[in-house]
Amino acid sequence: DVKVTQSSRYLVKRTGEKVFLECVQDMDHENMFWYRQDPGLGLRLIYFSYDVKMKEKGDIPEGYSVSREKKERFSLILESASTNQTSMYLCASSFPQGTEAFFGQGTRLTVV
Amino acid sequence: DQQVKQNSPSLSVQEGRISILNCDYTNSMFDYFLWYKKYPAEGPTFLISISSIKDKNEDGRFTVFLNKSAKHLSLHIVPSQPGDSAVYFCAASALGSGTYKYIFGTGTRLKVLA
């Protein structure tokens, strides 16, 4: 079974804090993705990576950065958390063919 | 610019009847279309997909239809069950920046009434 694991289910952080969201996959997938889900807006792509140390901006990269030092791990960094970054964050991984992506359980981040 | 659109935010269906969820897209370069199901506080789970070169794919109670000329796809669930109540996301995969990325619609909340 494919497993994508996000380090936290729920997080509460203060405005201005640096926040790290971690994601690990065990299927040797080349591609990894970070999305955020907000009511009425669906899933929006923040960043993705198709190889170690490679990263590409998605549709809403502002205020975020990512790190991929190992193939199985993809981290999302909120440089200075703000209240408008309160959201459900979803990590996914896939092979490069575009046929199916597997998601983690999500991290509900609240910035106060 | 929303490339994948789900125009119905919600749908209610009686148990045992057919549920039809719709999705429209604008980019004719999409290679695959996928449907995901999501329960609250969980990650999306993959349901079924279809290649852009096909017009139908079936898996048990789930069938996806693709109409390329209309840039429209639909997910049919027959028969609908209460456990199908969830948010359904339509997604499309497109090649860009060296690999495929997935673009999602805004979701349709399905409620199956017992």
DSSP B20-38: EEEEEE--TT--EEEEEEE
Identify the pLDDT of residue B98: 77
pLDDT at B86 over 70: yes
CA angle A49/A54/A57 to nearest 5° reads: 55
Closest C-alpha to B100, from A91, A4, A94: A94
Q: Which two tokens stand for residue B28?
A: 């004719």
Residues of chain B found within 8 Å of residue A40, distances taken between Cβ atoms: 9, 106
pLDDT at B1 over 70: no
Identify the pLDDT of residue A103: 97
Q: How far apart are CA A27 and CA B89, in angstroms?
A: 23
Residues of chain B found within 8 Å of residue A9, distances taken between Cβ atoms: 41
Could you say which DSSP state residue B3 is in? Answer: S
Q: How far apart are CA A23 and CA A74, in angstroms?
A: 5
SS3 B82: helix
Nearest to B43 among A90, A98, A100 (CB): A90
Mutation to test the B interface, candidates A89, A99, A109, A110, most B Cβ within 10 Å: A99
Interface touch B89/A105, C-beta < 8 Å: no
Residues of chain A found within 8 Å of residue B45, distances taken between Cβ atoms: 103
pLDDT at B63 over 70: yes
pLDDT at B74 over 70: yes
